[in-house]
């Protein structure tokens, strides 16, 4: 009898605890906002409108700190402002873990269990993206940029710089990551990369004519091409080709704890993700640097003076050195200001532990969306935010903490930020040294918000120095 009483008591306590927990969770104060339409939520407005406006409008309507929505099939909390940025980056792997939209998981096949050898390990362990490793690639990046500008610009009066920036950026990425130096092979990959990039955050509707359908086809074609590259690289390594310092060679040589090499298809998927990371945002930033320099002749002249001072101090034909990068302070300010005014899509996190922020509770399993656009165009943090002003980054005038983070911060800071920096500075050095330009259409419209693109390809009227 006593045993029966004890069992019943335990069951009653367990049921009470469960009901109280459900009640507590059900009464949790969720942030204000709307989940939108059934199933699709607010994905259409988010993807096909302007993502920056999407966030800004809801900050005004609901809360400047946090609001709820449903995008890409997920209940999502959007954390806003510098305090929110600090909270997010201070709690990586405590309250949040990385999450990729389902469309991205599908395209990169990253919804499978993580292999023993993952991409961050491959990239970070040998230090491929650290300054000391990048030093030996700088001269090659400089020569590739010079050659591509010569091919596509010399003798031309009108040049579309958006497609050119993509070709240059992808050529450098393929050389650095894959060890490929075949411009023709690379050039035909540009459109394929673009389709995959556009599909990474899209509605998963695999019907002809949709963004996701084109991305799926492009990813399959790109994967096939990369598998061929992996096979060629393996053959070259087996035949004792000279030292190979690219990331692909290291990945082929690496093995998991069991001693097995990664399958070629898996290597191809990882390389596809890495290449796209080093391609899209870099080429877009370069394009808008060209636009802002074309619209601001005084800023162009200051950048040119800085770069010519570096050039005249070198013997003719000597490529850029690492020390030259430190002398490009104003040029880097121009790039930083471009990234502020043309922010890119944000990133997602998954809530791994229920938390409360700004008086609102976010349940475990929800997603969190972070974007730099909640602060970078705010007059509260940036004086005259719509004015292109590179001098705002000078010493003593730096933006307040957690208001300007184009590469993220903390544990999730983009590991390729130094790589991106030297690719962009190398481009600026060569383009202002050899050319000046004016915009063919100063009011050219920009389409897309997840990936801003000048609708006409940014045609410029080019003049040779």
Identify the CA nearest to 81 among candidates 385, 415, 451, 405.
Answer: 405
Position 78 pLDDT exceeds 70: yes
Look at residue 221 in the predicted model and tell me its pLDDT.
93
Number of domains in the chain: 1
Q: How far apart are CA 412 and CA 428, in angstroms?
A: 27
Q: How far apart are CA 405 and CA 336, in angstroms?
A: 10
Look at residue 249 in the predicted model and tell me its pLDDT.
86
Mean pLDDT of 80-91: 93
Higher pLDDT: 166 or 129? It is 166
- What is the percent of the chain where pLDDT is above 70? 87
Judge whether 3 lies within some domain. no
Judge whether 37 lies within some domain. no
Least confident of 49-63, 115-129, 168-182: 115-129
Judge whether 223 lies within some domain. yes
Higher pLDDT: 116 or 416? It is 416
Look at residue 409 in the predicted model and tell me its pLDDT.
78
Mean pLDDT of 402-409: 86
Position 144 pLDDT exceeds 80: yes
Judge whether 407 lies within some domain. yes
Look at residue 279 in the predicted model and tell me its pLDDT.
85
Mean pLDDT of 124-135: 70
Global confidence as pTM: 0.88
Look at residue 258 in the predicted model and tell me its pLDDT.
55
Least confident of 70-79, 226-235, 325-334: 226-235
Residue-averaged pLDDT of the chain: 85
Position 77 pLDDT exceeds 60: yes
- 85 — pLDDT class (breaks 50, 70, 90): very high
Judge whether 53 lies within some domain. no
Judge whether 368 lies within some domain. yes
Which CATH number belongs to the domain containing residue 256 in this structure? 1.10.630.10
* pLDDT tens for each residue of 341-384: 987 778 899 999 999 999 999 999 999 999 887 898 889 999 99
User: SS3 for 49-79, per residue?
Assistant: CCHHHHHHHHHHHCCCCEEEEEECCEEEEEE
Position 164 pLDDT exceeds 70: yes
Domain residues for the domain of 303 are 119-464
Position 321 pLDDT exceeds 50: yes
Judge whether 210 lies within some domain. yes
Judge whether 342 lies within some domain. yes
- What is the percent of the chain where pLDDT is above 90? 56
Given CA atoms 40, 45, 50, 51 in this order, what sign does their dihedral have?
Answer: negative
Position 205 pLDDT exceeds 70: yes
Q: How far apart are CA 174 and CA 218, in angstroms?
A: 17
Look at residue 247 in the predicted model and tell me its pLDDT.
83
Which value, to the nearest 10 degrees, does the dihedral of the CA atoms of residues 10, 12, 14, 16 take?
Answer: -150
Higher pLDDT: 350 or 271? It is 350
Least confident of 147-161, 175-189, 387-401: 175-189
């Amino acid at each position: 009898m006593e045993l029966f009483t004890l069992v019943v008591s335990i069951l009653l306590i367990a049921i009470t605890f469960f009901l109280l927990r459900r009640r507590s969770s059900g009464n949790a104060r969720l942030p204000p906002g709307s989940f939108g339409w059934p199933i699709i939520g607010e994905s259409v407005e988010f993807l096909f409108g302007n993502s920056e406006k999407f966030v800004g409008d809801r900050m005004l309507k609901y809360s400047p700190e946090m609001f709820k929505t449903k995008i890409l099939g997920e209940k999502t909390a959007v954390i806003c402002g510098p305090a929110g940025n600090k909270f997010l980056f201070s709690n990586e792997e405590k309250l949040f873990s990385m999450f990729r939209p389902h469309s991205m998981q599908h395209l990169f096949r990253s919804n499978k269990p993580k292999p023993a050898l993952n991409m961050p390990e491959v990239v970070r362990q040998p230090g491929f993206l650290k300054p000391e490793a990048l030093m030996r690639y700088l001269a090659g990046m400089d020569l590739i940029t010079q050659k591509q500008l010569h091919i596509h610009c010399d003798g031309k009066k009108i040049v579309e710089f958006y497609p050119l920036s993509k070709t240059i950026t992808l050529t450098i990425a393929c050389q650095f990551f894959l060890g490929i130096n075949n411009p023709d092979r690379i050039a035909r990959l540009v459109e394929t990369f673009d389709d995959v990039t556009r599909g990474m955050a899209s509605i998963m509707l695999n019907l002809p004519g949709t963004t996701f359908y084109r991305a799926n086809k492009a990813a399959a074609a790109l994967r096939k091409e990369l598998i061929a590259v992996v096979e060629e690289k393996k053959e070259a390594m087996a035949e004792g080709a000279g030292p190979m310092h690219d990331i692909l060679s290291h990945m082929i040589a690496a093995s998991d704890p069991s001693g097995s090499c990664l399958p070629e298809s898996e290597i191809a998927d990882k390389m596809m993700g890495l290449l796209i990371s080093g391609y899209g945002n870099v080429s877009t930033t370069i394009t808008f640097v060209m636009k802002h320099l074309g619209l601001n002749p005084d800023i162009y002249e200051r950048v040119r003076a800085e770069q010519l001072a570096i050039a005249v101090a070198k013997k003719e034909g000597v490529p850029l050195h690492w020390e030259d990068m430190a002398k490009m302070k104003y040029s880097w300010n121009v790039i930083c200001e471009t990234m502020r005014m043309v922010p890119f899509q944000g990133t997602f996190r998954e809530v791994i532990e229920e938390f409360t922020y700004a008086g609102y509770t976010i349940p475990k399993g929800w997603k969190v969306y972070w974007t730099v656009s909640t602060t970078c165009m705010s007059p509260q943090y940036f004086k005259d935010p719509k004015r292109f002003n590179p001098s705002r980054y000078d010493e003593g005038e730096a933006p307040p903490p957690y208001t300007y983070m184009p590469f993220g911060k903390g544990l999730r800071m983009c590991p390729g930020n130094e790589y991106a920096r030297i690719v962009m500075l190398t481009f600026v050095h060569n383009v202002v040294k050899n050319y000046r330009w004016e915009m063919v259409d100063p009011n050219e419209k920009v389409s897309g918000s997840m990936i801003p693109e000048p609708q006409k390809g940014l045609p410029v009227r080019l003049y040779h120095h």
